Amino acid sequence: MRISKVIGNVTLSRIHPTLQGGSFRLAVPASEEELPWSAVSEEGEVPSSEAVVVYDALGAGVGQWIGIGEGREAVNPFYPEVKPVDAYNALILDQLSR
């Protein structure tokens, strides 16, 4: 699981039937220096990693910190139903502290 910052929404014209009820977010995984408790981090700064499209059934908003599961772990929470996702939003972080 990686801590990531939501930087945007993904709009689809059609969605796979198994993905109804959720939406897609654009999130950027954060490095240690980019987390809020880092002395280097500034409020509103966008992390510098490559963005990931994340399936979100929890309703995260732009600017929120989330935990994302990727690869095989992204499909496990939906078992036995199969959803065609590579990354999913496992949690929304209310606060981060060291």
Question: Is pLDDT above 60 for 95?
Answer: yes
pLDDT at 73 over 60: yes
30-62 per-position pLDDT tens digit: 877 776 655 444 555 555 678 889 999 899 999
| Burial tier of 87 (Cβ tally within 10 Å: 0-12, 13-18, 19+) | buried
Q: What is the pLDDT of residue 40?
A: 46
pLDDT at 46: 53
Q: What is the pLDDT of residue 48?
A: 62
**pLDDT value for 91:** 92
**pLDDT the model gives residue 37:** 56
Q: What average pLDDT does the chain have?
A: 80
Residue 36 pLDDT? 62
The pLDDT value recorded for residue 16 is: 81
